[in-house]
Structure 1
Amino acid sequence: MKARLLLTGCLLFNSLLLQANERWFEIEMIIFERTPEGQLQEQFPEQVTPIRLGRNIDLLTPRFNPSILPLVLSLESCTPDAVSTNANSPFTTSWQAPARLLCQQETQPVAWQRHSLFPEVLLNTQAPWPTSIAPVISGSGEFQGVPYLAEASAFSLTEVADRLRRQRQHQLLLHTVWRQAPVTERRAIPSRWFAGQNFSQGFDYWGQAKLATASSRASLAMNNSPLPTAATTDVLEQIASRRQQLAAGVTLDQPVTAASETNPNQNQANLPNEVWQLDGLFKLHLDHYLFVNTDFNLRRLVGDKLQSINVKQSRRVISGEIHYLDHPKLGIVLQIRRFSPTAEPVADAAE
């Protein structure tokens, strides 16, 4: 018994020692879009460059699309009963508003309708995605031993972000600070970041409109053009999406859109399910020097089409210095600072 306790104590001491010797950094990143068209002559490719997620560190999805399963399961069923035993119809014929505001209102199968011997729960367990995300994103700042969002007081480039926000030709998309311990390039796992407007309701991942908008239909009517039927529009949209996938090197046996019915978080092609104005990966690795690799897709609504511009850059950086990754359409301001995990910050009151 004493030997076992001694071994456990040694292992705990070694883990604490490794954690104390681990190098941590605080990364502050500002991403903004250049909005003026004006004198820019550069032409961007029309096809979408897919950014496959694979294994990544996602600090935003739990924040903006959290699981609400514990909350849903704690609610009582609404009255009247969701399913009727009437032979003519398995559903309630005279539904009325429940007396309680917080209760399960989704129809559930009765015992004889289930496909399994065990109870099934058919409920929406994820909160809906927002239509847009505010640029500034902070966390509690509580040290977790894994990459995590820093508290609001950790922001050092607020003045830079404010200047960009006040300039008419710039749109601030993302300003955040997170902390992580960098590793070698071979072991490094990129972090995923998305921001801005959510175009998922109107467009698929390949930039094709899901449904004809009211404005486009009104435009066709004013020009005395025949309105396409729903079936024709759907076929044309599928063809356009297939062409985009072929141009991007995606095989035809993969899903047409980014949505997946079997798994809402990841599809066969490892593509995002939501179509954000900004979406991509940021990788930090340490090989004698600090290096960053960025790969972002910027979505822009041009007329009735969704244009995608891929911005991929690599840079060696020096801790403490402010670096600027320039692009005709997208700018990234970056500062990486040393951080000591022993100085755990107090949770932000606004969080």
Structure 2
Amino acid sequence: MIAALMFAAVSQAQVDIHDNVPSKGNPWYEVSIVIFKQPHHLLQSEQWQPGKEISLAFPRHLVSLEEPSTANVQMGAFDHSRIGLPKAFLAQPPTDNEFVKMVNRLSRSPNYDILYQNSWLQPGLNKKNALPVLIQAGKVYDGLYELEGTATLYLARYLHFQSNLWLSNYVQQLEVTKPWWQNADDTLPNNSPPLVNEVAAHTDAAMAMGETITRYQSTRTGVLNESRRMRSGELHYLDHPLFGIVVKVTLYQPIQEKDSAETDNDQLLSAADEN
């Protein structure tokens, strides 16, 4: 029930801000993140928390990364040599070699299971205006994700990365509903003739009309809710006994459009060099 409410809240809370991010005068960053399960023997530890004993909630406003499309690629959305500001919160391949090598090492290791990996560009905003990025990954159980939560980059006096993520273990539960004739029989007055007798010849067919519903219940949950002060250009590791996060944030320098005077000067210098 709680998980269903959270799912509904996510659907209502997402805002379309990809083209309306306040970015003028703000520094821009490339954010690269990979989330992975810890070694299997740790998954059996006491670090799991019963799902009913913790409170999980998405923030009121959050943003989903826009997935790249063929149009994005053709229009050069990932071309960092283009003039002007890029599109914020557009999922893209990571450009940082150190981060790429880390992801490759995790992928090759039999001890880790990568749940999520992504990179994007965004402006650095203060904590009040920062936009949490929605993360949903891992196995899916009727719309419920094994890994859910948000990741937020914001600027205070320093650069900060805030994780609010939870990894859940789901079990399957089967619920068998009564056939229609049993439900009808339950609503009849006591002096009414038994409905079962009227359909005795069709018992097998009536039983077949009962429905088996599969539901998934979260039995254990591990939460990683941590704020980390960061330095741009450094790998940071956020640790939990059940899963871990490696994140790297690098300063991104958009190429600014030159004014007309600068353009004229460049053209004159270029012409002089040719002569």
State the TM bucket, normalised to the shorter chain.
0.5 to 0.7
Once the 2 structures are TM-superposed, how far is the Cα of residue 297 of structure 1 from its aligned partner? Answer: 1.4
Query: Given that residues 51 and 295 in structure 1 are in contact (C-alpha distance below 8 angstroms), is that contact kept between their aligned partners in structure 2?
Result: no
Aligned residues of 2:86 and 2:121 also touching (Cα < 8 A): no
Residues 237-256 of structure 1: pairs in structure 2 closer than 5 A: none
Given the two structures, how large is their TM-score scaled by the length of structure 2? Answer: 0.57
Equivalent residue for 1:154?
95
CA deviations on 1:71-91 (whole Å, 9 max, x unpaired) are xxxxxxxxxxxxxxxxxxxxx
Partner of 1:332: 245
Give the gaps of 5 or more residues in structure 2: 1-21, 70-75, 174-216, 258-275
The amino acid of 2:124's aligned partner reads P
Which of 154, 158, 166 in structure 1 is aligned with 2:108?
Answer: 166
**Counterparts of 1:187 and 1:27 in 2: how far apart (Å)?**
17
C-alpha root-mean-square deviation of aligned residues, in Å? 3.0
Q: Aligned AA for 1:147?
A: A
Partner letter of residue 62 of structure 2? Answer: N
Decide whether aligned partners of structure 1 residues 315 and 63 sit closer, same or farther in structure 2, where only a CA change above 3 A counts.
Answer: same
Q: Distance in 2 between matches of 1:163 and 1:152?
A: 17
The CA deviation at 1:57 is: 1.2
Shift in alpha-carbon separation, 1:63–1:277, aligned structure 2, 3 A: farther
Letter in 1 for 2:49: P
How many residue pairs get aligned? The number is: 179
The corresponding residue for 2:28 is: 24
* Distance of 2:45 and 2:148 partners within structure 1: 25
Structure 1 pair 303/196, CA: closer, same or farther in 2 (3 Å)?
same
Cα 1:52–1:343 shift into 2, 3 Å: same
**Which residue of structure 2 aligns with residue 55 of structure 1?**
61
Q: CA deviation at 1:52?
A: 2.2
Q: Which runs of 4+ in 1 moved over 6 A?
A: none
| Greater share of residues in helix | 2
Identity across matched positions, percent: 25
What's 1:295 paired with? Answer: 164
Counterpart AA for 1:192: L
Q: Give the Cα separation in 2 of the matches to 1:35 and 1:302.
A: 21
More strand by share: 2
Contact 1:27/1:177 (<8 A) preserved: yes
| CA distance 1:41–1:300, change in 2 (3 Å) | closer
Q: Which has the greater radius of gyration?
A: 2
The 1:58/1:340 distance shift into structure 2, 3 A limit, reads same
Per-residue deviation at 1:40? 6.2
Superposed displacement of residue 167, structure 1: 2.0
What residue ranges of structure 1 are gaps of 5+ in the alignment? 1-17, 65-138, 201-273, 345-351
Q: 1:279 is matched with which residue? A: 148
Instruction: Give me the whole-angstrom Cα distance separating, in 2, the residues matched to 1:277 and 1:38.
Output: 17
